[in-house]
Structure 1
Amino acid sequence: MLQVLAAIVSVQLGSAVARTLFDDLGAAGVTFLRLAIAAVVFALIARPRLRTWSKPAWKAAVLLGVVMAGMNLIFYMALRTVPLGLAVTVEFLGPLLLAVVQSRRVAEFLWALLAGGGVILLGLDATSGAPVEGLLLAFLAGLCWAGYIVFSARLGAIVPGTGGLAVALTVAAVVVAPFGAVQITKIPENPALLLGATAVALLSSVISYGLEINALRTIPTRVFGILMSLEPAAAAIAGLIVLGQRLGRIEILALVLVTVASLGATLGRRAAQVAPAHAEK
């Protein structure tokens, strides 16, 4: 659980930093640099033995890479017009749907419904000013996020360590390259942009993905999906601190509902695990 929480803080801080680079590098340019730099870092750390990989391992890595490309690129496109906290809240519809589909306990389903109510509340808020196009992009990114949860767990079960991530990130960078490679021409004039992109890669990919893929080896994907509902609250805080983005009362209420649902689902699962243990004694 601590690994998931650390990943949440890291990725949202990275998203806030990424938004500050859009004017110079564009959303696609930042996405490409983030994925490419992260791929190089993971390759140097993990040094995956690709010759020993099975066909299912390659398939899982490619699928994860394609999903990661869509998740990151579409989400950054949404961030161009939608505040970070609001974008992540709408994006959470993806993991929320995954949690509902995979839910086996009534309590988990009810907590997921509460989180869904918070997201719906945002859609009814006419004062947010976020364009429909941006919200739709955030939702599409959320569907990719659900796919990331599934394929990341599958890859982590087949390939030990973080070697699988190195390949998946390389695939993702190749997929995004046609959109982002042409937008990084300002780097030679302003090398500091590369430092910013490196910070984004470390915060949003290297640290967060490394923590998440390890966490997914020990917890079910449906629980991981509900835990990720803490993302909106972390995003709102990062958006306020780094970008000066303030949310309205209805938006804050929605974030609270989503966060309460996440905590309730987590605590409920823990209580369910502890009860049988005491009964056996």
Structure 2
Amino acid sequence: MSRAPLLVVASVVSIQFGSAVGRTLFDDLGATGVVLLRVAISALVLAVAVRPRLRAWPRPAWRAATMLGVAVAGLNLFSALAMRTVPLGVVVTISFLGPLTVALVQTRRLLDLTWALMAAAGVALLCWHPGPALPLGGLLLAALAGACGAGYIVLTARVGGLVPGAGGLPVSLTVAALVALPFGAGGASAIVERPALLIGASCVALLQTIFPYVLELNALRRIPTRVFGILVSLNPAAAAIAGLIVLDQHLGSVEIAALLLVTAASAGVTRNRPAEVQDRWSSRRLPRPPRDAADPSETQGRANQGCG
């Protein structure tokens, strides 16, 4: 039996537990400070590992990679800000709407309307019953992260068509770090007086970006993107579990119902995507293969999530 599905599940777990560990650093580094350090460390490590051939890049490739970096920064910054007041599982659930919308737009099947309504029902549950634990401001930030996640997917496809291999990833992460710099520099400066915090930030970078990249790169060589998308739809559930174990975040019945609805919709629209759409995306080698593809769960990312 192929171990590829286990690699994807391991990536999902790594990403969400990395997010939870990052949340524990908010008091010391600030939400945006954690994002800045994670993205900067990931960019440095992957630049050394990938070594993109920048001199051969055409101008459109630089433009697309820059725009992708802005989307990565937005996805991660909005997600982190949302996590200050909203449980991790809920943030990931809401932010899945962006990638899910991209997937739905690409298909024209009547069944997809069912998945869209299912996802909308899940979000409606959260918005109609925000309560003190789910402030609307935090939900809006998570929704903005989802919007950036949608742009992240579209732009990654663009970069993947212009840049061979994974060369676009470290460049986009570098741009994301520059965008996050004015927002996170103040919090990240705490590592000057407390260098040990850099160890925690490095662990977050490894768990949320670097390890998933390696795991998913190997998995996508062995399984179709459709199967990959279904497995990555486990992200909201994994986020809820990580939030419970690491952060002691207990979700109520309403939040759990919303999570299940959005997860089912993501898996459903991936499972039922027409073959021609699957083939179109599986033929591309994107900068960050898994979550940068068009499957509804392939983002959280990132980046995820986002990038992670």
- Which interval holds the TM-score relative to the shorter structure? 0.7 to 0.9
Within 1, Cα distance between the matches of 2:183 and 2:269?
A: 39
- Tell me the amino acid that sits aligned with residue 232 of structure 1: P
Q: Which residue of 2 aligns with 1:90?
A: 94
Are 1:163 and 2:167 an aligned pair?
A: yes
When residues 144 and 26 of structure 1 are mapped into structure 2, their CA distance, relative to the original with a 3 A threshold, is same
Within 2, Cα distance between the matches of 1:158 and 1:128?
A: 46
Higher helix share: 1
Are 1:235 and 2:262 an aligned pair?
A: no
Q: Which residue of 2 aligns with 1:8?
A: 12
- Tell me the amino acid that sits aligned with residue 200 of structure 2: G
**Equivalent runs, 1:25-44 vs 2, <5 Å:** 25-44=29-48
The alignment yields a C-alpha RMSD, in angstroms, of 2.9
Which segment is superposed worse, 86-95 or 27-36?
Answer: 86-95
Q: Which residue of 1 aligns with 2:258?
A: 254
Of 192, 195, 200, which residue of structure 2 is paired with 1:196?
200
Residue 194 of structure 1 deviates from its aligned partner by 0.6
Alignment identity in percent?
59
- Tell me the amino acid that sits aligned with residue 235 of structure 2: E
Whether the 8 Å CA contact 2:19–2:208 is kept in 1: the answer is yes
Q: Which residue of 1 aligns with 2:184?
A: 180
Whether the 8 Å CA contact 2:229–2:270 is kept in 1: the answer is no
Residue 82 of structure 1 deviates from its aligned partner by 0.7
Q: Which residue of 2 aligns with 1:245?
A: 249
Are 1:20 and 2:24 an aligned pair?
A: yes
- Tell me the amino acid that sits aligned with residue 208 of structure 1: P
When residues 202 and 177 of structure 1 are mapped into structure 2, their CA distance, relative to the original with a 3 A threshold, is same
Q: How many equivalent pairs are there?
A: 271
Whether the 8 Å CA contact 2:127–2:136 is kept in 1: the answer is no
Are 1:101 and 2:136 an aligned pair?
A: no
Whether the 8 Å CA contact 1:98–1:225 is kept in 2: the answer is no
Instruction: Look up the SS of the partner of 2:30 in the other structure.
Output: helix
Residue 225 of structure 1 deviates from its aligned partner by 7.6
Residue 87 of structure 1 deviates from its aligned partner by 1.2
Instruction: Look up the SS of the partner of 2:190 in the other structure.
Output: coil
Within 2, Cα distance between the matches of 1:63 and 1:102?
A: 21
Are 1:53 and 2:70 an aligned pair?
A: no
**Equivalent runs, 1:138-157 vs 2, <5 Å:** 138-157=142-161
Whether the 8 Å CA contact 2:23–2:83 is kept in 1: the answer is yes
TM-score, normalized by length of structure 1? 0.86
Residue 65 of structure 1 deviates from its aligned partner by 0.4
- Tell me the amino acid that sits aligned with residue 113 of structure 2: F
C-alpha distance after superposition, 1:65-89 (max 9, x if no partner): 0100111011101111111011111
Instruction: Look up the SS of the partner of 1:136 in the other structure.
Output: helix
Q: After the TM superposition, which segments of 4 or more aligned residues of structure 1 sit over 4 Å from their partners? A: 3-6, 209-216, 223-229, 269-273
Which segment is superposed worse, 74-83 or 150-159?
Answer: 150-159
Within 2, Cα distance between the matches of 1:146 and 1:272?
A: 21
Q: Which residue of 2 aligns with 1:115?
A: 119
- Tell me the amino acid that sits aligned with residue 14 of structure 2: S
Within 2, Cα distance between the matches of 1:118 and 1:130?
A: 14
TM-score, normalized by length of structure 2? 0.79
Q: Which runs of 5+ in 2 are unaligned?
A: 278-308
Within 1, Cα distance between the matches of 2:52 and 2:72?
A: 19
Within 2, Cα distance between the matches of 1:128 and 1:100?
A: 32
C-alpha distance after superposition, 1:221-249 (max 9, x if no partner): xx988875432111101101111101001
Which segment is superposed worse, 8-17 or 98-107?
Answer: 98-107
Residue 167 of structure 1 deviates from its aligned partner by 0.4
Residue 21 of structure 1 deviates from its aligned partner by 0.2
Q: Which runs of 5+ in 1 are unaligned?
A: 274-281
Instruction: Look up the SS of the partner of 1:42 in the other structure.
Output: helix
C-alpha distance after superposition, 1:6-61 (max 9, x if no partner): 44322211110110000000011101101100010111001111101111211121
Larger Rg: 1
Within 2, Cα distance between the matches of 1:90 and 1:196?
A: 26
When residues 205 and 196 of structure 1 are mapped into structure 2, their CA distance, relative to the original with a 3 A threshold, is same
Whether the 8 Å CA contact 1:227–1:266 is kept in 2: the answer is no
